[in-house]
Chains A and B, each alone.
Chain A
């Protein structure tokens, strides 16, 4: 579902119960319909950021469809056309050569248009004297050789000035004339040696002529197998790049052309669309403000200027969404309504890193450090250890398969808290001390051995809680299904309508969202240096966790028909409260990053070195 922040903002305040009944459905369907409209049909630049005031933990971003990016590309091309007075295909080649840096392009073009045109493969260089020099060694002139320079060659393509002095001057080692079709001799394609009289021949401006079949196979192989968007002429050493219209002529048959081999046509069609995608990808990859949606099959792009600079990643967590939903972004409104599980998930991702869909409130570098730590082999054993637990009374091994932390042992009926393993009776309503690791307990650990054990335990403490929330979030699909069932039951057993039971769904979504936040707060707390700031952070974390567990328990519990109105009231209240607590955690953490308030106990990329502190 779309972000709740979105419409809660419109209302100006959080829901009270009244609004839940009257307003929610309108908002729900209204907001999601708007979203879907934009997702599916929107080709223009549009905003999916929440309307109204931006929260401190949110960033400004735009979502762009492939056609929208193509439009941006077109704008750049048109700009270059008008400034440099070249045609579209030339402008496109120049831009690709200059990695879409318009300013540098214009500068270079004004400086020396010929050399830029040559470097970009638009025109062939003037024949130099080198071609006239006799090459004593080579036998037929084709024996140019220079050893490969691997990756550096790519650089050489980009910044043409870095040509190694040892390389022979380009184009010195072929004789254009030998490829020119001579009118008195029948044409033989120098590649496939086909000499049929009805051969269709093609050539770039360099006049290296080959048959259309070879051009076709060559272009398809370059585009499909090598993902190349700047395909050079087939002649050896010729640096001319095929302009887009040329590629189009070869791959896309002109209307009314004889129907060829259907598999060949299909390959060509795919290659042509892949080529266009490659251009868009190159444009996006060259532009720091843009990023591709990483979800499989999705072709959207997100523009997030505020996160373009790496240094900004220490102060913001640029969580963005491309606007599409589901696999390939093809979900329609009805589909996303019927199965609100993982399939209809929003394409949320972090603009700053590749980690997880949403790692707020913690910044990329800390999240990355944490995940690396968790992945380390040394922690594998701990991980196994932390996925199952023993009942503190009968020692049966227990695996948690539901969201709530209130556990009841199947065997001995012992009730305990999954997090701290203490008896649940001590938890119930009293002070909930489960989210904090009592670091004072480790004070007595004087010798190095026990200190290392304490640090391991410290890690395990945070890791257990982190993994616990991750596990719960993974089980959310189950919870969705269960809740859906309950909602149906409720409609049957009570007089509530479909609209009126939506509070359950909303609560489940909120719990899932908050668990994500909670999960990452533990990775943050692990690295936070001891002090008042950390205490405040953990206080907020504790409040949120307590609220989430309470709500979670309400949702998991059985439903008695007579209690439904009360349950509804409770769940609704709790949902609003949880939402508020979540906002507080996110807001406060984000502000802390902006103010540089957080201090770490380890060295974190982009931050100052921490002062030496004991954990």
Chain B
């Protein structure tokens, strides 16, 4: 039998048999080379209580080349793109070793959620947020977990019960700031956009003058 197929089949079986790790891997279609993995958000983190889905593609030269993984669930994390779910993790690139398995890679993703690496970001805006105010970042990450990953705050599961998703909270901004600039006559979406881009949070707030923000708002 093809070594790659044998290996992938064994990995899938191993994962099924191992109940302790909480990692699930299932087939997306008929091919064993396109999979969907999922794991619970690690405890004592803003991601706790959420369930995170990962898209897994096994390349032809697996296991000698790394698997391709990206988050299906939206995650607010410095090393994960908030738009595409792309992951910045060394073992998925040049630090890959053929000894690593799907399970161990998923565990690595789980532990990436525990300890972000904001100095080496995939999503620069999120990383900036993390650096300026960790508390505010965690609040936003928790909110994302809640609405996208079915975290504890959501009442009846997948965030359905929350009527309107709070755009301000998604962007990790202070509602007061948004309202202040909105009252100047700028559209809400634009205000959120500019404030997020300028990282108008925590210790940064006194550093950015209102003029600067208005200037940016006028440019947009």
A interface residue numbers (CB < 8 A to B)? 137-140, 142-149, 153, 164, 166, 179, 190-194, 208, 210, 213-214, 217-218, 221-222, 225, 234-238
Q: Once bound together, how far apart are the Cα atoms of A210 and B7, in whole Å? A: 14
The secondary-structure label for the interface of chain B is: loop
Contact B90 A221 (CB under 8 A): no
Contact B90 A145 (CB under 8 A): yes
Chain A residue contacts of B125, Cβ below 8 A: none
Binds A, one of B47-55, B112-120, B180-188: B112-120
Q: Is B156 an interface residue (CB 8 A)?
A: no
Contact A139 B89 (CB under 8 A): no
Interface size on B, residues (CB 8 A): 39
Given the known interface contacts A191-B99, A235-B97, the answer about A138 and B107 at a Cβ–Cβ threshold of 8 Å is yes
Q: Is B136 an interface residue (CB 8 A)?
A: no
Please name 10 pairs of A and B residues whose Cβ atoms are closer than 8 Å in the assembled complex, sorted by A: A140-B107, A142-B107, A145-B112, A147-B112, A147-B121, A148-B88, A148-B95, A214-B98, A222-B64, A236-B99
Q: Is B204 an interface residue (CB 8 A)?
A: no
Q: Is B108 an interface residue (CB 8 A)?
A: yes
Contact B90 A234 (CB under 8 A): no
Contact A143 B97 (CB under 8 A): no
List the count of A-B residue pairs having beta carbons below 8 Å apart: 103
User: In chain A, what residue has the closest Cβ to B101?
Assistant: A142
Instruction: Out of A142, A146, A221, A235, name the residue touching B104 (CB < 8 Å).
Output: A142
Q: Once bound together, how far apart are the Cα atoms of A138 and B97, in whole Å? A: 17
Chain A residue contacts of B112, Cβ below 8 A: 145, 147
CB distance from B3 to the nearest CB of A (A): 4
Contact B21 A147 (CB under 8 A): no
Q: Once bound together, how far apart are the Cα atoms of A210 and B98, in whole Å? A: 10
Chain B residue contacts of A149, Cβ below 8 A: 90, 120
Contact A143 B111 (CB under 8 A): yes
Contact B97 A145 (CB under 8 A): no
Given contact pairs A166-B119, A221-B61, A234-B99, enumerate 17 new A-B contacts (beta carbons under 8 Å): A138-B107, A142-B101, A143-B107, A147-B88, A147-B90, A147-B112, A148-B88, A166-B117, A191-B99, A193-B6, A194-B6, A213-B3, A214-B64, A214-B98, A225-B61, A236-B100, A238-B97
Q: Once bound together, how far apart are the Cα atoms of A225 and B93, in whole Å? A: 14
Contact B89 A145 (CB under 8 A): yes
User: In chain B, what residue has the closest Cβ to A152?
Assistant: B120
Contact A192 B94 (CB under 8 A): no
Contact A225 B97 (CB under 8 A): no
User: In chain A, what residue has the closest Cβ to B113?
Assistant: A145
Chain B residue contacts of A148, Cβ below 8 A: 88-90, 92-95, 120
Instruction: Out of A145, A210, A235, name the residue touching B108 (CB < 8 Å).
Output: A145
Instruction: Out of A140, A147, A153, A193, name the residue touching B89 (CB < 8 Å).
Output: A147
B interface residue numbers (CB < 8 A to A)? 3, 6-7, 10, 20-21, 42, 61, 63-65, 79, 88-95, 97-101, 104, 107-112, 114-115, 117, 119-122
Contact B97 A137 (CB under 8 A): no
Chain B residue contacts of A191, Cβ below 8 A: 7, 63, 98-99
Q: Once bound together, how far apart are the Cα atoms of A267 and B33, in whole Å? A: 25
Chain A residue contacts of B120, Cβ below 8 A: 147-149
Chain A residue contacts of B97, Cβ below 8 A: 234-238
Instruction: Out of B94, B104, B107, name the residue touching A153 (CB < 8 Å).
Output: B94
Across the A-B interface, the 10 shortest Cβ-Cβ residue pairs: A236-B97, A147-B117, A142-B104, A221-B64, A143-B107, A148-B90, A145-B108, A147-B120, A192-B3, A147-B79
Contact B65 A221 (CB under 8 A): yes
CB distance from A148 to the nearest CB of B (A): 4
User: In chain B, what residue has the closest Cβ to A135?
Assistant: B111
CB distance from A214 to the nearest CB of B (A): 7
CB distance from B37 to the nearest CB of A (A): 14
Chain B residue contacts of A210, Cβ below 8 A: 98
Chain A residue contacts of B110, Cβ below 8 A: 143
Q: In this complex, which of A145, A149, A193, A221 has the most chain B Cβ atoms within 10 angstroms of its Cβ?
A: A145
Contact A137 B99 (CB under 8 A): no
Contact A139 B7 (CB under 8 A): no
Contact A137 B88 (CB under 8 A): no
Chain A residue contacts of B100, Cβ below 8 A: 142, 236
User: In chain A, what residue has the closest Cβ to B88?
Assistant: A147
Q: Once bound together, how far apart are the Cα atoms of A314 and B91, in whole Å? A: 46
Contact B108 A143 (CB under 8 A): yes
Q: Once bound together, how far apart are the Cα atoms of A142 and B111, in whole Å? A: 11
Chain A residue contacts of B122, Cβ below 8 A: 147
User: In chain B, what residue has the closest Cβ to A237?
Assistant: B97
Q: Once bound together, how far apart are the Cα atoms of A164 and B120, in whole Å? A: 11
Chain A residue contacts of B104, Cβ below 8 A: 140, 142-143
CB distance from A159 to the nearest CB of B (A): 17
Chain A residue contacts of B7, Cβ below 8 A: 191-193
Q: Once bound together, how far apart are the Cα atoms of A192 and B3, in whole Å? A: 6
CB distance from A170 to the nearest CB of B (A): 10
Q: Once bound together, how far apart are the Cα atoms of A194 and B64, in whole Å? A: 16
Q: Once bound together, how far apart are the Cα atoms of A149 and B94, in whole Å? A: 10
Chain A residue contacts of B98, Cβ below 8 A: 191, 210, 214, 218, 234
Chain B residue contacts of A221, Cβ below 8 A: 61, 64-65
Q: Once bound together, how far apart are the Cα atoms of A210 and B120, in whole Å? A: 33
Contact A218 B64 (CB under 8 A): yes
Given the known interface contacts A147-B89, A149-B120, A234-B99, the answer about A193 and B10 at a Cβ–Cβ threshold of 8 Å is yes
Contact A146 B111 (CB under 8 A): no
Q: Once bound together, how far apart are the Cα atoms of A149 and B20, in whole Å? A: 32
CB distance from B100 to the nearest CB of A (A): 5
